[in-house]
A and B are shown apart, each in its own frame.
Chain A
Amino acid sequence: MSAQVEPASALASGAPVAPAGPVAGTAFKAVMAIFVAAGVIGFALNVGGANAARAWQAYLVNLLVWLGIAQGGVVMLAAFYLCNGRWAGTTQYRLAETFAGFIPLGFLLFFGLYFGRTLIFPWVLHPIAQKAAWLNTPFLFARDGIGLAIMTVLSLWLVRLSRTKEAAEWQRDSESILLVPNPIRRVAPALAICFAIVYTIIAFDLVMSLAPVWRSTLFGWYFFAGAFWSAAAAMALVAVIMRGLLGGNNAFKNPQVMRDIGLTVFAFSIFWIYLLFAQYIVIWYGDIPVETFFIVVRAYYPPWQALSYAVVILMWMIPFLTLLGVRPKKTPAILGAVALCGVIGIWLERYVLVVPSLSPHTVPFGWVEILVTLGFFGAFVLCSLPGLDRLAASAAREVWVEEHE
């Protein structure tokens, strides 16, 4: 029986509602701050020494992962508006906005790559004559910087519009046939289109250019579809955590809402593997060394082979096989575990995309990578806390009223 998420008036129905205070306590914030400090110290201690290249690689991997999740969430927000999705009232919109706070920080952190450019981009020290017009330091940082600046402005603008009163009224009333408020109707499609363009360029510049002779036209799509999917997985994880944290009949207690969140994870996981396979089959058919070496080093020989298979298992096989049925999607423990696998998978995927280009025969993993990852994770969570508070307030207010069975 499909139970609708009720607007604020449903408070009268007597379902218990958790108090809407801040989600994270001081202790939690302190732990996250310690993570950030550990990351900064770990990075600073290594960036001057023998492990400098590893520190910068970990920096790039984590930037791509966490900025991808934050940006993918706002694109999911735009997607909700573009298809009039109102299966969970304002809660689904607050959920997609949760990570937006990291976007400005990620934008700033991008420019940090400038200082590590000689250790990240092989073409800085050994320019490729035919590609020098595109692959040169000033042009790369200018175009990517402008692109990310546009994305940051559009994202913050859309999030702001999405939190207005008119928008909330529209989000709540799923029966209404009114169109989305006008400003959102203009910004949301612009953001979605810019995302495709900017993140294609980011994929070409920050991932593909690490192996400067390699090319795959579809790679940009594959890269941003992965970022979009990682946001879906992170949203599912947050939904499951919030469901337990808030208590009462919060919006996430509605099995139908959990099912819809599970569906996004399921669907875009298939889209991701589709784009992966679409590239693989073309390279496999062509069998041209300049294209195959990128795959061969990752999927055919140790040590990277096992990690590549792990990525496919975490990002496609587990979500596909587990979330195929209705019941696993409605079971928070299963959905949460799959989403956690997805977030780990996307980290591993970005790692496998970036690092083998620079270190084909060894897997550099140790304290440097762990500390930098912890630092980024802590910063990501701290930036998401205001969004989480809004999400908690929304999910606690929109109580789920169970219909007669």
Chain B
Amino acid sequence: MTLGMSAAMEIIGSFADEHLCVRGIEDLHKAQVRNLRVFYPFPSHRIEHAMGKPKSKVRLFVLIGGITGILTALAITIGTSWEWNLVAGGKPIISWPPFIIICFELMILFGGISAVTSFLVNAGLPAFESKSGYQSRFSEDRFGVVVKCDGADSARIEKIESILRNAGAEEVLREAA
């Protein structure tokens, strides 16, 4: 009996409004509840800010990809010019103006490819199973705040539920995790 009660449990608060959802997150943080998962139907800077998420690592990979692209372009243009000397119009073999274009294009190409790849890796995509607590309406018009907690700690569960309700949740559910 007691063992069954202590199973992990999830409390799911559903919000109809972005601002109310943000308030719910902030109130939970104030009450030292940290292990949240939030589902929202569109990308929201407000919610990301409230969650206190660190900046995405994708930007770093884009930078590395871009620099790699420039270096690759320099290697290709300068390397091939040295390997096969073609004097065109009396210009030097290593002429930088046209190389700039290749550098620019490969910077964009490599940066773009590394952006997509690192986005997929960082976001854990493709994902074939939805995360626990997810409901299809969180992809439609509702915001979901999911809090994982110990099923035995009923005082804490009630406190979390009341915080979510006070913040404006239209529905609060309990679900075994």
Contact = CB atoms under 8 A, between A and B. Distances in A.
Interface of A: 1-2, 277, 280-281, 284-285, 287, 404
19 contacts: A1-B45, A1-B46, A1-B49, A2-B45, A2-B46, A277-B100, A280-B97, A281-B97, A281-B98, A281-B100, A281-B101, A284-B97, A285-B89, A285-B97, A285-B98, A287-B89, A287-B90, A287-B91, A404-B26
A285 B98 CA distance: 9
Nearest to B50: A1
B60 to A, nearest CB: 14
Contacts of B101: 281
Interface string B82-116: 00000001110000011011000000000000000
Contacts of A287: 89-91
Nearest to A287: B89
Interface in B31-78: 45-46, 49
A277 B90 CA distance: 21
Nearest to B23: A404
Contacts of B26: 404
Contacts of A404: 26
Q: Which secondary structure dominates chain B's binding surface?
A: helix
Interface of B: 26, 45-46, 49, 89-91, 97-98, 100-101
Contacts of B45: 1-2
A327 to B, nearest CB: 12
A285 B97 CA distance: 9
A contact face: mostly helix, strand, loop, or mixed: helix
Given A2-B45, A281-B97, 17 more contacts: A1-B45, A1-B46, A1-B49, A2-B46, A277-B100, A280-B97, A281-B98, A281-B100, A281-B101, A284-B97, A285-B89, A285-B97, A285-B98, A287-B89, A287-B90, A287-B91, A404-B26
A287 B89 CA distance: 8
- What are the 6 tightest A-B residue pairs by CB atom distance, in nearest-first order? A284-B97, A287-B89, A281-B97, A1-B49, A2-B45, A1-B46
A48 B89 CA distance: 48
Contacts of B91: 287
A1 B49 CA distance: 7
B123 to A, nearest CB: 22
A266 to B, nearest CB: 17
A163 B32 CA distance: 51
A404 B26 CA distance: 11
A284 B101 CA distance: 13
Contacts of B100: 277, 281
Contacts of A284: 97
Most buried by A among B90, B97, B100: B97
Nearest to A280: B97
A295 to B, nearest CB: 11
A289 to B, nearest CB: 12
Nearest to A274: B104
A130 B24 CA distance: 77
A287 B87 CA distance: 14
Contacts of B89: 285, 287
A209 to B, nearest CB: 27
A287 B101 CA distance: 18
A394 B89 CA distance: 59
A279 to B, nearest CB: 11
B67 to A, nearest CB: 14
B48 to A, nearest CB: 10
B132 to A, nearest CB: 30
Contacts of B90: 287
Nearest to B49: A1
B88 to A, nearest CB: 9
Nearest to A286: B89
A275 to B, nearest CB: 14
Contacts of A1: 45-46, 49
A203 B100 CA distance: 27
A281 B100 CA distance: 10
A231 to B, nearest CB: 27
A287 B91 CA distance: 9
A2 B47 CA distance: 12
Contacts of A285: 89, 97-98
Nearest to A1: B49
Contacts of B97: 280-281, 284-285
A277 B101 CA distance: 10
A281 B101 CA distance: 10
Nearest to A283: B97
A358 B59 CA distance: 49
A281 B91 CA distance: 13
A85 B42 CA distance: 22
A1 B46 CA distance: 6
B70 to A, nearest CB: 15
B113 to A, nearest CB: 21
Nearest to B26: A404
B92 to A, nearest CB: 12
Nearest to A405: B49
A215 to B, nearest CB: 20
Nearest to B96: A284
B101 to A, nearest CB: 7
Contacts of B49: 1
A365 B175 CA distance: 80
A285 B46 CA distance: 51
